[in-house]
Amino acid sequence: MTSLANYLDTVLFSVFPYVAMVLFLVGTIHRYRNETFTYSSLSSQLLENKQHFWAVVPFHYGIITVLTGHAVAFLVPRQLLLFNSRPLRLYILEVSALIFGVTTLVALFALIARRFTDPRVRVVTSKADWILYAMLVTLVFSGVYVAVFYRWGSAWFAASASPYLWSLLKLSPNIAIISAMPLAVKLHIVNAWLVIAFFPFTRLVHILVVPNQYLFRKRQVVRWYRRPQLSRS
């Protein structure tokens, strides 16, 4: 391996992740504190209501499931490997993961098509949206490509990507395994860090404000100015 490639790997896999994480943290917190108003899902359902359903719903179900899969492999790699020790379980896991991945990809193209074709939705599409779409397409496409051509990702992710990510968290990046990975995998990883770095500057911030408190709160909300101590609904 040339020294240039070595150098590039170090920059992309052990330096850039920290840049991305710092950008993510500083960016989202700063935006939440100083530009609270801009935290919004920026829905365009009012402008176009039909394609919206067929694009937005499968995309969200798809990407949430796939991301959950990544999180599980990251958090409990041992248990995942144990689960995969029976081939049947591995096949079921891989096939369903692939289905959700492909759903995400198809729905992502549907989202882009909707943005392109509906004149009203196009008006509310920003430059950041187009950049984000380009990143997401690369990310999801490379992910599906890896899943198809480098089989049993759920097994080797737990054994290679998971230790890599943990080594980053422990502030002693170990990129030996990543350096040996095929180009498509590398592209997928770099793109993931890119999305995380770009996150605070896009509409993705709506993920951070999903309204989980709704599930626990009382139905009616009353705000008092004169008697804060008595406030109740």
Partner 1 sequence: MDVRSQISMVFHLDKCIGCHTCSIACKNIWTDRKGTEYMWWNNVETKPGTGYPTKWEDQSKYKGGWELKDGALRLRSTSKSKIVFNIFHSPSMPSMDDYYEPWTYDYGELFNAPEGGDQPTAKPISMVTGKYLEIEAGPNWDDDLGGSRIYAANDPNLEGMNEEQKAQLSAVERLVMFYFPRICNHCLNPSCVAACPSGSLYKRGEDGIVLNDQKRCRAWRACIAACPYKKMFYNWQTGKSEKCILCYPRLETGQAPACFHSCVGRIRYLGVLLYDAERIEEVAKRPDEELIEAHRSIVLDPFDPAVLSQAAANGIHDSVIEAAQKSPVYKFVKQWKLALPPHIEFRTLPMLFYVPPMSPVMAQKHGDVISHTSDDLFHDIDQARIPMQYLAKLFGAGHEAKVRYALRKQKAVRIYRRWLTVGDIDEATADRMLREADTTRDEAEAIYRLTSLCPFEDRFVIPPMYREEAIEMMQDPLEAKQTTGFGFMEGPARGL
* Interface ranges with partner 1 (CB under 8 A): 34-49, 52-53, 56-57, 60-61, 119-120, 122-124, 126-129, 201-203, 205-206, 209-211, 213-215, 217, 219-228, 230-231
Please say whether the beta carbons of 84 and 93 come within 8 A.
Answer: yes
Smallest gap from Cβ 219 to partner 1, in A, equals 4
Cα-to-chain-centroid distance, residue 204:
9
Q: Which is nearer to partner 1, 2 or 34 (CB)?
A: 34
Secondary structure of residue 36 in the 3-state scheme: helix
Give the residue from 102, 84, 201, 85 showing the smallest Cα distance to 143. 102
Q: Which is nearer to partner 1, 8 or 113 (CB)?
A: 113
DSSP string, 99-167: HHHHHHHHHHHHHHHHHHH-HHHHHT--HHHHHHHHHHHHHHHHHHHHHHHS--HHHHIIIIIHHHHHH
Smallest gap from Cβ 166 to partner 1, in A, equals 31
